[in-house]
Structure formats: C-alpha cells, structure tokens
Amino acid sequence: MANICVCARFRPAISKEDGEALCIARSDSRSFTLEDEKDEQHMFSFDKVFYEDSEQADVYEFLARPIVRDAVEAINGTIITYGQTGAGKTYTMEGANIMETDNHKKGLLPRVVDELFEAINSCGETAAYKINLSMVEIYMEKVRDLLDLSKDNIQIKEHKGHAIVLCGVTEILISNVEEALKFLSSGIANRAVGETQMNKASSRSHCIYILTVQKEMEKEKRVSTGKLVLVDLAGSEKAEKTGAEGRVLEEAKTINKSLSALGNVINALTSGKANHIPFRDSKLTRILQDALGGSSQTALLCCCSPGLCHFSESLSTLRFGARAKHIKASSRIGWKEEMHDKKQEILSENDVKLKVLDLRERILKKLREKLDAETVKLIGEEFVVDGLLCEEVDSSHEEGGILCHIKSETIASWKEATNKLVKTIAELGGENHMLKKVYELMKVEYEKMMHENERMKMEYEKMMHVTKRLQANLRKTDARYSVLVRGFWFLASTCIFLILAYWLSF
Ligand SMILES: Nc1ncnc2c1ncn2[C@@H]1O[C@H](COP(=O)(O)OP(=O)(O)OP(=O)(O)O)[C@@H](O)[C@H]1O
C-alpha cells in the first residue's frame, strides 16, 4: 500500500433518521458527490467508497486484510476509523459486539484476530509466533491501560529507532482467538462510554488496540516483530447539536481539541513545508506519529452518516480524508533514508569486522605452523583482550535486532517499490503492445510507399526516355524547318531577280 490508503464509509440510516433526505449521490466504487440542501455539490474520490449496503467483510477485505498479512511478515500497520459521533466507527471496528458471530455484523477487530491466528497456524514449523495484545484509551488527554485500570497515566516515549512506545503498558500473550476475544471484550468494557443525543453508546475516548506479532525463526536465530495498531477515534461533535453539557461537554472539547491536533499534523504533513510536524501537541498525534510520519502502512476509514442533516459534519470528515490522502511517502522518506543509512553503517561495520577476523585467522594459522596449539590459543585470546582483533560477529546480538527492524522497514519500502514497478511494467507492457501495433502498421505503410516509389521511379524513367525522343525529333524538325526557310528565300529572291531582269529588258 503506497502512502495512506483512505476510504469512506456511509452507514445505513438508523431508525431515527428514517425518511430523512440523503446527502450522497453515488458515482462509482471510488467516487461520489455530497450535496447540501441548496444542491451545492462536492465531488470526492477515495481508494474505495463503502456505501450504505456495504458489508463488514468488504471493508475488512479491502482495508485491513493486506495490512494484517504484512504484520505477520513484520511490517507495521495501522488502521484508523475517523468521523462524526454516531457515524459507525465503533461498529466498523468492533462490530455490533466484539463477540458477534453473525458474519454480517462482525467487525474488523475480530476478523483481524481470526486472520492473524489463521496465518500463523498455516505457516508450518519454520517459525514460532507469539501474539501480544495491549489496549489503551486516551481519555481527557490521559493514556489509560484498558487491561489494567490501575495504570491510568501511561507515558509515551520515542525509542532510538523512532518507534513510539507506551511505557509499562500491559501486554498479554494470547494463544488463540477465544482468548483474544475474551481480553478484548474485558478491555472494551473498561472503555469510557457515555450517552449523547447522537449516540446512545458514544465512545468518549480514542481507543487503541495493539497486536504485536513476534516471529522467531529458529534456523536463522532471528526474531522479527510486526506491530498492528487499530485506532477507533472518538467522534467529532458540535456541542449544540449533540446537546452536550457538563462532563460530556468537557469530554467533547478534549476530543475536538485532539482531533484538531490530528488535523494540524495532517496539514503539516501535506503542506510540503514539513519542517516541524506538531506530533507532540496531543497524546493522540504522539501515538499516531509512527503511523502518519513513520514507516507503518496506514489505512484511514472516514465514517459518515448519510443523512442531509449531517451534511456539514460529513463534509468536514471527507475533507479530512481527502487531505490525508495527500500524505506522500516523501514525508515519510526521511525516516526510511535514515534507516537505510543506519543499515549501511552497520553493514560496513560488520564488513570491517569480517576482514579483521580473516586477518586474525591468517595470523593464527601461521603461528600454528611454528607453535603448539595451546600457545596459539592464548595468543588469540590476548589479541581479543588487547582489542587488536575482534571476536566473531554474532548476528543475533543488538545489531541483529536493529537489522531485523530495519529489514522490516526495508521490506515495506521494497514491497512498495515492487508494487510500483509491477504497475509501471504493466503500463509499459500496454504501451509497448500499442507501439508494436503502430510499428506494424507503419511498416506496412512504409512498404506500400516504397513500392509506390519504385513505380514512380520507373514511370519517371519512361517519361525521361519519351522526353529525350521528343527532344531529338524536335531538333530534327528544327533543322528541316530552317532548310525549308532558306530554300524559300532562295527561290523568292531568284524569282524577284528574274522578274526584274525581264522588266528591264523591255
Ligand atoms: N454499517 C452499519 N450497519 C448497521 N448499523 C450501523 C452501521 N454503522 C453504524 N451503525 C449503528 O449506528 C450507531 C452508531 O454507530 P457507532 O457507535 O459505531 O458510531 P461511532 O462513530 O463509533 O460513534 P461515537 O464516536 O459516538 O462512538 C450504532 O447503533 C450502530 O449499531
């Protein structure tokens, strides 16, 4: 998935909206028009649009499945649901209920869990997997551990390798789908939920589900990790419309503030002058730093209500999505290049170590020819102690870990590049095919023209021959004509002379 995959979803009208006019006119599976009461139209295009009749499974297949598959291969991914309160974010994420078994109502989260376990169970014995689950919510600008409510102010730190870490968050090792759903269900029960006019069970917090997939390859003695983050954002809302007051109003203000901070980050990332991205302006943007500014594969689902009365909220949600669509790999390249440089640095360090090792082996081999084995061993150890020569490179050490991490980043960028290449190759293939056809046509035309040319050449030669003959005839005719003229003048002058002579004789 290049850059950010942005989709829009319109939920069906709910009972209290029955009979209400709709604000959406479908174009195709990627674009639609939003219309207000005055028939003013706003065209939008996304990677995919899920209309009112779309299935939960369709959303999962398009938006989440590729990211989940990649997480198993140690590529980080983030899925975010965004939108107005009551627009269907939680329904999309969790389903009607996290334990829901009805396939029509089952949300992204249980499907993600299913797919993760299916993927790791079908990979054979080449690798051992561990899946850990963490769940936090950002409520009133505090990060709370939903799996251990005593941790109600978790700190966010940035690791050396730019990864965002939640310090001390509970991580539960889950070994099967049932266990995962059980913990998810108890975490969800701990979420801050309140009733607003718009939504009976409105999420008053941003909820973040983190599934970490650790893959241990025994043969290669390597461990790699893929982090899958699902974010169910709290809904943006207009206080006057939701009828919020008191605590609910305070919650709404905090939610709107953090969503504005998210909007500012998106604006900074898409403005092209991203010297400073205000990730630190809110807990939400800080946690999403990885997903938006880093190397994670990210999918954003803009949830909207289809009713005309929600037009302005839907418009602002969709504008947010349209803006996010412009977050390009370029703003995330800095990180990738840094990782690439780091990788090169480590690789060249290892290269030097290998050369030194080779030198050590050669020296010790020479010494072995002259000295006994024990003395050579002692000298070898002395070399290492003195720092003259190094010990063998162990790829499973710290660098191995960094390399694994870098590898996942590199795989992601290579994958992205490969996808682009495949697309370009397909396009070029099409162009090539067309050019070949044009070439064939031109060849036929050229041959026709050459043939015509030959014919014209022959015609020309014939004409030249005729012209020459005509010229020769003309010259002959000219000569005859001058003889005749001269003869005529001779005869005429002779006659005149004879007439004069005759006349004079009288
Ligand atoms: N695709 C859908 N199909 C059927 N019902 C839906 C769909 N999407 C949402 N709903 C229903 O709409 C209502 C509001 O949805 P939901 O709670 O998911 O909204 P939300 O965006 O999470 O709101 P908030 O931000 O307030 O938490 C719920 O009753 C939900 O069951």
CA-CA-CA-CA dihedral for 9, 12, 17, 18, to nearest 10? 150
Boundary residue ending a domain (336, 364, 380):
336
Give per-residue pLDDT as tens, 90-149: 999 999 999 988 999 999 999 999 999 998 888 776 788 999 999 999 999 999 999 999
Per-residue HEC secondary structure of 93-133 comes to: HHECCCCCCCCCCECHHHHHHHHHHHHHHCCCCCCEEEEEE
User: How far is it, in rounded angstroms, from Cα 291 to Cα 78?
Assistant: 6
Q: Is the CB of 83 under 6 A from ligand 1?
A: yes
CB atoms closer than 10 angstroms to residue 287: 24
Q: Is the CB of 168 under 6 A from ligand 1?
A: no
Domain region containing 389: 341-406
Query: Closest residue (by CA) to atom 13 of ligand 1?
Result: 86
362, 272: one domain: no
298, 391: one domain: no
349, 319: one domain: no
pLDDT string in tens for the chain (506-residue length): 345 899 999 999 887 776 777 788 899 999 999 988 888 899 999 999 999 999 999 999 999 999 999 898 888 899 999 999 899 999 999 999 999 889 999 999 999 999 999 988 887 767 889 999 999 999 999 999 999 999 999 999 987 666 889 999 999 999 999 999 999 999 999 987 776 666 777 788 999 999 999 988 877 778 888 999 999 999 887 766 666 678 778 888 899 899 999 988 888 888 766 678 899 999 999 998 877 877 778 999 999 999 888 899 999 999 999 999 888 644 443 334 444 444 455 455 556 666 666 676 777 777 777 666 766 666 666 555 444 444 443 444 444 444 444 455 556 666 677 777 777 777 788 888 889 889 989 999 999 999 999 999 999 999 999 999 999 999 999 999 999 999 999 999 999 999 999 999 87
Q: Is the CB of 107 under 6 A from ligand 1?
A: no
Q: Ligand 1, residue 11: give the atom nearest the CA.
A: 1
332, 345: one domain: no
Which residues, in sequence order, are bridge partners of residue 209? 135, 230
365, 276: one domain: no
Q: Ligand 1, residue 199: give the atom nearest the CA.
A: 26
Q: Is the CB of 224 under 6 A from ligand 1?
A: no
- Domain assignment of residue 142, yes or no: yes
309, 358: one domain: no
ipTM of this predicted complex?
Answer: 0.98
Q: Ligand 1, residue 198: give the atom nearest the CA.
A: 26
- Domain assignment of residue 435, yes or no: no
DSSP one-letter code for 74: T
pLDDT at 352: 61
- Domain assignment of residue 451, yes or no: no
Residue 213: helix, strand or coil by DSSP? strand
Where residue 127 sits, what CATH number does that domain have?
3.40.850.10
Angle of helix 329-370 versus helix 373-385 axis, rounded to 10: 150
User: How far is it, in rounded angstroms, from Cα 233 to Cα 112?
Assistant: 18
Boundary residue ending a domain (356, 371, 406):
406
Pocket test for ligand 1, best of 16, 56, 90 (most atoms within 8 A of CB): 90
Which residues, in sequence order, are bridge partners of residue 300? 6, 80
- Side-chain-facing half-sphere of 369: CA atoms under 13 Å: 5
- Domain assignment of residue 161, yes or no: yes
Tally of structural domains, the chain:
2
Angle of helix 108-121 versus helix 65-72 axis, rounded to 10: 40
Q: Ligand 1, residue 14: give the atom nearest the CA.
A: 12
Query: Closest residue (by CA) to atom 10 of ligand 1?
Result: 88
Q: Ligand 1, residue 91: give the atom nearest the CA.
A: 18
84, 164: one domain: yes
183, 57: one domain: yes
325, 379: one domain: no
Query: Closest residue (by CA) to atom 23 of ligand 1?
Result: 86
317, 349: one domain: no
Residue 227: helix, strand or coil by DSSP? strand
Boundary residue ending a domain (336, 368, 385):
336
Q: Which element (helix H / strand E) includes 299? A: strand 297-304
Please tell me the distance between residue 258's alpha carbon and the centre of ligand 1 in angstroms. Answer: 21
266, 291: one domain: yes
376, 313: one domain: no
